[in-house]
């Protein structure tokens, strides 16, 4: 039985009834890892697993947000409800540009079934990708069946965030010739679909063939070869085709044994990370409250001990206290 405190329970009930305000507050609790946030996540977990999560990344200014807005509109017309998460890992506070996007997008659709939110939870213990996953699960649980995650860049952070998605899309455009040199193998490998946006620009055809070569060079997708979709997000051109490719990828993932196995491994890795995080937290608390590492160090210096033995002794003290705590709890 999962126990959620009465205030969070009220928020959960309201969010499940469709209150965007309650959902917003729940997201803040989860994003800031406020007291009780894990109970919320445990509670909603059985309600998740229905949404399709689409990740979109690429260099700044290639037209990601314009594309996201068009995709959201099309999905909306097809009677889906859409959650959009704009993640800005490089900004300690909500990234200005993403926030701007959010306001711009909100004007784009007065439709009720689109929820837009910026995330910038850098420094959370579980990492930005775990935080994104947690928030995506909240959206999934309250009934958003299409979740689009937009993040800016092509670095390690983005690779991790985009890995949360069921389908990862890398957006590029021919005006960004230099960025292509900087594209890391990581982002090439993680991409399920490439979008070359701003196809109205003259250099597009040449650019597409360059990307095709890079896909063959970098992609290690054994069975799924990432397609390239040309779009003009400004005028909605190519967006329906992109949705078709996303659907093809979803179908492929459902049928492909290797990918099912990959997903299983991802889930196991998440559990391992959660365990590591919990242990780290407990250790920090232990040495903060009971045995300051500094004292241990000073004592060891006097006794001329090596750091390996100090660490062993410190860890033994930690395990001993865990054991005592468990024995006390069992009584």
Residue 180 burial by CB count (10 A; 0-12/13-18/19+): exposed, middle or buried?
middle
Nearest to 41 by CA among 55, 53, 31: 31
In whole angstroms, the minimum distance from the beta carbon of 149 to ligand GTP comes to: 13
Cβ atoms within 10 Å of 101's Cβ, excluding its own:
23
Among 14, 24, 39, 61, binds ligand GTP (CB under 6 A): 61
- Packed helices 307-330 and 257-289: angle between N→C axes, nearest 10 degrees: 90
Could you give the CA distance from residue 66 to residue 108 in angstroms, rounded to a whole number? 10
Could you give the CA distance from residue 203 to residue 196 in angstroms, rounded to a whole number? 11
Residue-wise DSSP of 107-165: HH---TTEEEEEE--TT-TTHHHHHHHHHHHHHHHTT--EEEEEEEBSSHHHHHHHTTS
Q: Which stretch binds ligand GTP (CB under 6 A): 17-25, 58-66, 222-230, 263-271?
A: 58-66
Among 40, 152, 164, 193, binds ligand GTP (CB under 6 A): 152
Q: How would you classify the pairing of strands 114-119 and 193-197?
A: unpaired
In whole angstroms, the minimum distance from the beta carbon of 156 to Mg ion comes to: 20
Residue 170 found at the interface with ligand GTP (CB under 6 A):
no
Six-digit token string for 104: 């711009």
Nearest to 32 by CA among 113, 93, 74, 99: 93
Q: Which stretch binds ligand GTP (CB under 6 A): 9-17, 62-70, 123-131, 137-145?
A: 62-70
Among 2, 106, 234, 260, binds ligand GTP (CB under 6 A): 234
What DSSP character marks residue 175?
A: G
Residue 233 found at the interface with ligand GTP (CB under 6 A):
yes
Among 26, 40, 65, 195, binds ligand GTP (CB under 6 A): 65
Among 22, 131, 136, 232, binds ligand GTP (CB under 6 A): 232
Nearer to ligand GTP, 142 or 152 (CB): 152
Residue 174 found at the interface with ligand GTP (CB under 6 A):
no
What DSSP character marks residue 237?
A: B
- Total residues belonging to the chain: 331
Residue 60 binding: pick among Mg ion, ligand GTP, none (C-beta 5-8 Å cut-off by kind): ligand GTP
Nearer to Mg ion, 65 or 219 (CB): 65
Residue 195 found at the interface with ligand GTP (CB under 6 A):
no
Nearer to Mg ion, 64 or 137 (CB): 64
Residue 63 found at the interface with ligand GTP (CB under 6 A):
yes
In whole angstroms, the minimum distance from the beta carbon of 31 to ligand GTP comes to: 20
Nearer to Mg ion, 103 or 330 (CB): 103
Residues that bind ligand GTP (CB under 6 A): 60-66, 97, 152, 197-198, 200, 232-234
């Amino acid at each position: 039985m999962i126990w959620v405190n009465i205030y969070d329970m009220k928020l959960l009930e309201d969010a499940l009834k469709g209150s965007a305000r309650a959902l917003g507050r729940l997201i803040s609790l989860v994003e800031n890892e406020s007291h009780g946030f894990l109970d919320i996540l445990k509670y909603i977990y059985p309600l998740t697993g229905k949404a399709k999560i689409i990740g979109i990344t690429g260099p700044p200014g290639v037209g990601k947000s314009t594309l996201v807005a068009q995709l959201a509109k099309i999905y909306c017309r097809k009677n889906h409800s859409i959650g959009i998460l704009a993640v800005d890992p490089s900004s300690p506070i909500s990234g200005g540009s993403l926030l701007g996007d959010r306001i711009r997008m909100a004007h784009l659709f007065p439709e009720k079934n689109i929820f837009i939110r910026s995330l910038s939870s850098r420094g959370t213990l579980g990492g930005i990708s775990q935080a994104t996953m947690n928030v995506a699960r909240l959206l999934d649980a309250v009934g958003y069946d299409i979740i689009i995650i937009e993040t800016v860049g092509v670095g390690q952070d983005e690779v991790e965030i985009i890995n949360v998605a069921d389908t990862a899309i890398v957006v590029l455009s021919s005006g960004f010739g230099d960025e292509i040199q900087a594209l890391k193998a990581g982002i090439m490998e993680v991409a399920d679909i490439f979008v070359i946006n701003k196809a109205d620009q003259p250099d597009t055809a040449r650019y597409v063939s360059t990307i095709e070569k890079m896909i063959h060079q970098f992609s290690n997708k054994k069975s799924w070869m990432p397609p390239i979709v040309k779009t003009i997000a400004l005028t909605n051109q190519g967006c329906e085709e992109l949705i078709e490719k996303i659907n093809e990828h979803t179908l492929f993932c459902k049928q492909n044994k290797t990918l099912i196995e990959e997903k299983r491994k991802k889930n196991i890795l998440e559990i391992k990370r959660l365990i590591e995080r919990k242990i780290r937290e407990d250790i920090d608390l232990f040495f903060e409250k009971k045995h300051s590492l500094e004292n241990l160090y000073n004592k060891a210096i006097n006794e001329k001990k090596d750091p390996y033995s100090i660490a062993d002794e410190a860890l033994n003290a930690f395990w001993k206290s865990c054991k005592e705590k468990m024995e006390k709890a069992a009584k």
